[in-house]
Amino acid sequence: PVESPPVEPSAAERYVVLVELIQSYRAAYYNEDAPLVSDAEFDLLYSELETLEALHPQLVSNDSPTQVVGGDVSVAFAAVEHLARMYSLEDVFSLAELEAWLLKAAASVENRGGTAPKWLTELKIDGLAVNLLYRDGVLVRAATRGDGTTGEDVTHNVATIKDIPQKLHGSGFPAEVEIRGEVFIGSKDFLALNEVMVAAGKAPYANPRNTAAGSLRQKDAAETAKRPLSMFVHGIGAREGLTTATQSETYELLKSWGMPISPYYKVLDTLPEVMDFIAYYGEHRHDLIHEIDGIVVKVDDLATQRELGHTSRVPRWSVAYKYPPEEVHTKLLDIRVNV
Ligand code: NAD
């Protein structure tokens, strides 16, 4: 085996600083819904940590931020075990990296004897993930992602969201299915909400993502009911009696049952088509129903998804391309100077 270079004291020190910073920023973002830095600053620190770990694999511990799904379970909520784990997404920040990722995934599918995968391309909604458990078509529980294994019980709060049916429409439902999606506040609703705040002499909310997260994670569901929350489905977890073969086919079935499915998703055959999708939404990112921070590309075929599996943090059949930040603060430089 190739030996990793010895860790210099300065690298080891930087490593500890990075882990502590990222953990504290994650706590503020996920638990308080009040980030201390911009996403771009956070992503830079996270990339630096990944680079350090790639250089010095001996530094990586099981609880490194690169190995766990960020987010805890607040004591304000009952803890809920997801039936199937929830994951984060692997991020790439350039089109070259995305292309390399897609080619590698396609090669891995073909090496296993599969045919070239079809790509399900979606917008990466800037909100927070929920896991909805339906038994025989009835919503029995809703939870936040939490650390991926255990989330927070937000069933009463979710009951106030008009987009999410308490009972699926029609018939022929699976015995059990976990439907995952992103709860968000639409761009128009966010503007209207802030107009009301300002008219009442109150400070406006900073951004839709944290307002959506804070609104869903209210102790009092009556407060959640006052906020204009929406949702789009972006995944499925445990399923029993659901026989669809692809994720897109599943979306269409869920749509017929009254679940909110994004109007923006596409199933594409080739890499240039995926690149066009990215270019199009890069140009139109402010003309959409909701804010986005990137594009998610998934292998559409469910059997292939199962074959490719996942790491401790992310699925191996999906990747998130993040658009370049539109505004980067300089605080990171201050942090670097201070350590
Ligand atoms: P992520 O946001 O990069 O990706 C995973 C999540 O994307 C999923 O759990 C799901 O909720 C969401 N998502 C939205 N649209 C989706 C779609 N179409 N398909 C699948 N999933 C979709 O990962 P993460 O671990 O939740 O968070 C990391 C990101 O959050 C960082 O890259 C950073 O931008 C932000 N963050 C910021 C701070 C901060 O202090 N500003 C702190 C922590 C995290």
- Is the distance from CB of 303 to CB of 245 less than 8 angstroms? yes
Q: How many Cβ atoms sit within 10 Å of the Cβ of residue 160?
A: 18
Q: How far apart are CA 69 and CA 88, in angstroms?
A: 6
Q: Which residue's alpha carbon is nearest to atom 11 within ligand 1?
A: 129
Residues forming a β-bridge with 296:
122, 320
User: Based on the domain organization, do 176 and 273 belong to the same domain?
Assistant: yes
Please provide residue 48's backbone torsions phi and psi, each rounded to the nearest 5 degrees: -65, -40
Print burial letters for 269-280: b (CB count within 10 Å at least 16), e (below 16): eebeebbebbee
User: Based on the domain organization, do 15 and 131 belong to the same domain?
Assistant: no
Within-domain flag for 3 = no
Within-domain flag for 334 = no
Q: Which residue's alpha carbon is nearest to atom 44 within ligand 1?
A: 26
User: Based on the domain organization, do 45 and 100 belong to the same domain?
Assistant: no
What ipTM, to 2 d.p.? 0.96
Q: How far apart are CA 310 and CA 316, in angstroms?
A: 5
User: Based on the domain organization, do 17 and 126 belong to the same domain?
Assistant: no
What pLDDT score does 72 carry? 79
As for how many domains the chain has, the answer is 2
What pLDDT score does 334 carry? 41
Task: Please give the mean pLDDT across all residues of the chain.
Answer: 92
Centre of ligand 1 to C-alpha 19, Å, is 18
- Tens digit of pLDDT for each residue in 242-288? 999 999 999 999 999 999 999 999 999 999 999 999 999 999 999 99
- Is the distance from CB of 58 to CB of 13 less than 8 angstroms? no
- Which tokens go with 45? 């620190």
What pLDDT score does 328 carry? 47
Q: What order of strands is seen across the sheet that includes strand 138-144? A: 138-144, 128-135, 176-185, 229-240
User: Based on the domain organization, do 154 and 265 belong to the same domain?
Assistant: yes
41 is in an annotated binding site: yes
pLDDT level of residue 1 (50, 70, 90 thresholds): low
- Tens digit of pLDDT for each residue in 98-133? 999 999 999 999 998 889 999 999 999 999 999 999
Within-domain flag for 333 = no
Closest to 295 in 3D by CA, of 266, 322, 262, 330: 322
Residue 62: which domain range?
Answer: 9-67
Within-domain flag for 276 = yes
182 is in an annotated binding site: yes
The CATH number of the domain holding residue 233 is 3.30.470.30
Evaluate: CB of 320 within 6 angstroms of ligand 1. Answer: yes
User: Based on the domain organization, do 102 and 222 belong to the same domain?
Assistant: yes
User: Based on the domain organization, do 116 and 13 belong to the same domain?
Assistant: no
User: Based on the domain organization, do 62 and 134 belong to the same domain?
Assistant: no
Q: Which residue's alpha carbon is nearest to atom 22 within ligand 1?
A: 124
User: Based on the domain organization, do 107 and 209 belong to the same domain?
Assistant: yes
Cβ-based burial of 156 (10 A; exposed 0-12, middle 13-18, buried ≥19): middle
User: Based on the domain organization, do 85 and 210 belong to the same domain?
Assistant: yes
- Amino acid at site 283: E
Within-domain flag for 72 = no
- Which tokens go with 101? 């990722």
User: Based on the domain organization, do 49 and 89 belong to the same domain?
Assistant: no
40 is in an annotated binding site: yes
Within-domain flag for 262 = yes
